[in-house]
Structure 1
Amino acid sequence: MKNEIQQALEALNNGGLILYPTDTVWGIGCDATNPEAVKKVYELKQREDSKALICLVSDIRMLEKFIFEVPEVAYQLIEATDKPTTIIYDKPINIADNLIAPDRTLAVRVASDEFCQRMIRQFKRPLVSTSANISGRPTPQSYSEINPEILKGVDYVVNLHRDKKCNKPSTIIKIGNNGVFKIIRK
């Protein structure tokens, strides 16, 4: 795992894209603070940049560095949930502008996968995490289902968990700074 983290970090630090197993599905990732890297993700996925992408952070402390105000209910939700849950927050800060949704929100998940946590902790910045598919096509359930275009379009492919069937995508909940929340995807 240590070698895989080092290889991935090298690509990320050079503004590159990685393909990696997450706590949900195989993901395309990049430095969430680097607008040029984020642009490459949109291009590879052939996705409109008005459609927001999810970010992963290693822990609550990192979340607090990139969201102006984390609502109290979000802390409770993160602690209580036993499945991967992405929360859409108001007022992201210190993040690439082209990653922020038109309504000035950002979708963030605290990673539960050990590899992701360790890699992101060492990277010291959030990581874009979007499914490893061309926009509009099905999300691959395993490494073997990933489109060759995606494989060729990244700078590094993590060599872990390639035989694992992926879980379904995370639950997505939008929480406003007023505490009001809405389930977007179960």
Structure 2
Amino acid sequence: MDWQAAKTAFTEGGIIAYPTEAVFGVGCDPRNQQAVEKLLALKQRPREKGLILVAADYSQVVAFVADLKIPQDKRFAVFSHWPGPVTLLLPAAPGAPDWLTGGSDKIAVRVTAHEPTRQLCSALGSAIVSTSANVSGAPALTDAAAVRAQFGNDVAWVMDAETGGAASPSKIIDPLTQQVYRV
């Protein structure tokens, strides 16, 4: 895998594409507002919906999470979902940018068990914005060739690897309230 090309695209504010548990995702550096705005425009996705961060481990997302707001008696229940195909809505850190939270006081984060995505996050040394590879409302793309065909040069780097074979995108829950947002 050409991790250097991925790092270059990521650090220069490019959009990258990679397989997730069920579909291909497109993403970028969550700390780069211009990159996130470019991603939202590419997908024709409203900023208010917020975005998911995917990571190799919790340390890659903890700066975006108000970790101390996760009660001690709920921490095991929260973190027992990971690694895995479950996105958690956790309290957002005070400095978590609106371009990620959509203006909410929560942030959506996932520590993936899908090995290609874990390797990518590890190689980048960062969490990645993670949203399905498609124009909002259209079916999500499931392979690298389809991503290249649909987005062409708008995506700076595409990972040639397989999705995890899951039938649907990650479940989204708020582990503190047990509310399910996506099954």
TM-score > 0.5 by shorter chain: yes
Structure 2 counterparts to residues 51-90 of structure 1, below 5 A: 51-69=49-67, 71=70, 72=72, 73=74, 75-80=76-81, 83-90=84-91
- SS of equivalent residue, structure 1 residue 50: helix
Question: How many Å apart are 1:166 and its aligned residue?
Answer: 5.7
Structure 1's 10 and 74: CA in aligned 2 closer, same or farther, altered over 3 A? farther
* Match of residue 21 from structure 1: 19
Query: 1:57 touches 1:111 (CA, 8 Å); kept in 2?
Result: yes
* Match of residue 168 from structure 1: 168
Instruction: Flag structure 1 segments of 5+ consecutive residues without an equivalent.
Output: none
- The 2-side partners of 1:103 and 1:94 are apart by 12
Query: 2:148 touches 2:155 (CA, 8 Å); kept in 1?
Result: no
Query: 2:19 touches 2:143 (CA, 8 Å); kept in 1?
Result: no
Q: TM-score, normalised by structure 2?
A: 0.84
Q: Which amino acid aligns with 1:111?
A: T
Question: How many Å apart are 1:102 and its aligned residue?
Answer: 2.0
- SS of equivalent residue, structure 1 residue 39: helix
Q: Identity across aligned pairs (percent)? A: 29
Question: How many Å apart are 1:140 and its aligned residue?
Answer: 2.4
Equivalent pairs, count: 180
| Deviation string, structure 1 residues 105-132 (Cα, Å, up to 9, x no partner) | 2111002122222221232322001000
Q: TM-score, normalised by structure 1?
A: 0.83
Question: How many Å apart are 1:95 and its aligned residue?
Answer: 4.3
- The 2-side partners of 1:149 and 1:86 are apart by 26
Question: How many Å apart are 1:143 and its aligned residue?
Answer: 3.9
* Match of residue 115 from structure 2: 114
Comparing 17-26 and 62-71, the one that deviates more: 62-71
| Deviation string, structure 1 residues 5-58 (Cα, Å, up to 9, x no partner) | 222111001111111112331000100111110001100001111111111122
* Match of residue 183 from structure 1: 180
Question: How many Å apart are 1:67 and its aligned residue?
Answer: 0.6
Q: Which amino acid aligns with 2:80?
A: E
Query: 2:82 touches 2:110 (CA, 8 Å); kept in 1?
Result: no
